[in-house]
Every structure is written in C-alpha cells, then in structure tokens.
C-alpha cells in the first residue's frame, strides 16, 4: 500500500509514518512545517513534499498514485484559533475540503480525516457518544466540525470511502513542548525535567481522555489497510477520565519526583471534561489494545529524557 500522510512531519503523522514503514508500506508526506518538524522525519524512507495542502498543484502531486490518505494536517490548539480564527478555518476546514477534492480527482483512494473531541464543546454528557449533540466553544472546534462533515458528506455526495475519527488528547513521543500552543503532557514533562512548577490552568479539576499515540497510529493504519468506512464520526479513545491533578500524580509515580504546581487562570474555550464512549470504535476495530496511561507516560518520559536534549542542542526544526 502507498499511504499519503498530510501533516506527516507532525507528532501523530511521524509516528504513523514509522509504523507504516515498519509494516512494509510506502509512505509519502506533504507538510509545510508550519507546525511540524523536519527532524521528525529525518532518516525515514519517505517521499517528502514541503508544501501546504492549500497548494492545489502540490496536493495533486502528493495524492497521485496513492492507495490511502490519512489527513492529519491542521492548525491545532484552541488558544491559537481564538487568536487567529481565519487561519484556523483556512487550514482545517478549507484545507480538508481541498484534500477531499484532491482525493476525488485522484481516483478516490481511501480517506481518513482527523477531527477532535473539542466538537462536543458545551455538551456536559459523560461519556460522550458520537450521537450526542455538539456545541463548539472555539473556532478550532468549529473548524473540526467542518472537516469531519466534509469527509462524511463525501460518502453521500461522491461515493468516497471515508472515515472521520474524533481524537481525544493524544500524547506520546515526538510531541514537542516549548511553544505557546503545546499540549498539557509535554508541557508538564518539560517543566518536570527542568525542575520548574507544573502550570495548571484553573483548579486542576478539568479532565481528559488521554490516548497514547502508538494506539492511535495502529488504529489509523488498520483503518487504511482494511479501508474501513463509517457514515458517522468515530471517537478514537477508550473511555478513561483523568483530571489534571490526577495526571500530575501519575507523572509523579512514573518519574519518582514530586513536582510543584502553579495554578493559572483558566483558558477561554477549554472544554471542562472529556471522556469518550468507544462503542463504535470497538465494533469497527475489535482487536485494538490501548496502552495504559502509566505505560504511555513512562515511554513518553523516556523519549523526553533520551531524545529531546539532542533535538534542542541541534536547533532542529
């Protein structure tokens, strides 16, 4: 199989690329490196196209001859979307429509699109089922609603084989800290290793369904290999519910350290609690085996200790 990963130099994309290569697949990547990092794919036997998915010619070149597309390219982060909603919309909503059109014109390879648990927004239901109502709290969430619905509408309008996953707080190796829009686990681990207090937005009661990137990557690849199609979004998470304070306790257990905590003001647009109903995922992917939070944190911490210093020393991007 020849697999195209949009955003393949990013955190999830580069993990997926490694897994696909290890299973003997060909991999192509299109990434403009606006949020991805070239060091994530250095040394990998991939075709790399440095371009935006908004570049029609480059996208057509990337999609040509592929059997499957995993669309991960996006401008992530709720705060970033509040600061610049137009850029978020163009990358995530318009960008996904461009990918759908490129797939259609290329002979309709299988297409997986990444959405987000942020779409549930103000809905307080726990756990959150794909058939629950959605009410976005940020421009980022709105852009992800558009992305997933473009993918699903393409099934009905054009007969494309598509699948839309809603990701829930994916974490793991190659998720970079050190920038204003970094996710919570790399922020916490980075501060831990620097001996600095862990910054907590709010009182620490906010909770998330943390999902290890290895599990996400194996599910994404399985979807492409089996050309899995579903007419509704699918939560890609396993029904766990961990508060930020509980997460800090797990980090303390894994690291053997007891970090200090610095509470800050809550962030606008943040969903208070998130937990997936994974019945659809279990039906479509009965063999998936999630990695526990303790194991995932341990592997992530090991990567931070072993790999991140060299990346920073090289000034790589």
Catalytic residues: 140
Q: Is 65 left (phi over 0), alpha (psi -120 to 50) or beta?
A: left
Which residue is listed with tokens 């299988």?
110
Give the Cα separation of 285 and 303 in Å (integer).
28
What's the gap between Cα 236 and its chain centre? Answer: 10
DSSP string over 72-104: ------HHHHHH-HHHHHIIIIIHHHHHHHHHH
First to last CA, the chain: 29
Give the Cα separation of 317 and 305 in Å (integer).
18
Give the DSSP H/E element, type plus range, for residue 297: helix 293-306
Q: Please give the structure tokens belonging to residue 145.
A: 């609603």
At residue 291, the 3 state secondary structure works out as: coil
């Amino acid at each position: 199989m020849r697999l195209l990963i949009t955003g393949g130099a990013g955190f999830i994309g580069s993990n997926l690329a490694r897994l696909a290569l290890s299973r003997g697949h060909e991999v192509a990547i299109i990434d403009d490196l606006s949020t991805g990092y070239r060091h994530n794919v250095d040394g990998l036997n991939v075709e790399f196209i440095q371009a935006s998915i908004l570049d029609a010619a480059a996208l057509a070149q990337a999609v040509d001859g592929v059997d499957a597309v995993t669309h991960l390219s996006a401008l992530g982060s709720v705060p970033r979307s509040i600061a610049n909603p137009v850029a978020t919309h163009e990358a995530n909503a318009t960008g996904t429509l461009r990918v759908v059109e490129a797939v259609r014109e290329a002979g309709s390879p299988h297409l997986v699109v990444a959405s987000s648990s942020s779409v549930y927004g103000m809905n307080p239901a726990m756990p959150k089922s794909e058939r629950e109502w959605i009410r976005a709290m940020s421009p980022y969430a709105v852009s992800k609603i558009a992305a997933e619905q473009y993918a699903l509408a393409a099934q009905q309008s054009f007969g494309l084989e598509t699948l839309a996953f809603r990701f829930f707080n994916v974490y793991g190796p190659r998720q970079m800290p050190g920038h204003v829009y970094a996710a919570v686990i790399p922020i916490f681990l980075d501060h831990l290793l620097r001996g600095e207090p862990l910054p907590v937005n709010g009182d620490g009661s906010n909770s998330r369904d943390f999902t290890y990137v290895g599990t996400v990557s194996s599910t994404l690849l399985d979807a492409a290999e089996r050309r899995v199609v579903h007419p509704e979004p699918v939560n890609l998470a396993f029904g766990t519910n961990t508060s930020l304070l509980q997460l800090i306790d797990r980090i303390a257990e894994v690291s053997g350290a007891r970090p200090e905590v610095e509470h800050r003001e809550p962030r606008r647009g943040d969903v208070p609690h998130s937990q997936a109903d994974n019945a659809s995922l279990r039906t479509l992917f009965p063999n998936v085996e999630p990695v526990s939070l303790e194991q995932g944190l341990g592997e992530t911490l090991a990567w931070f200790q072993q790999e991140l210093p060299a990346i920073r020393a090289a000034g790589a991007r």
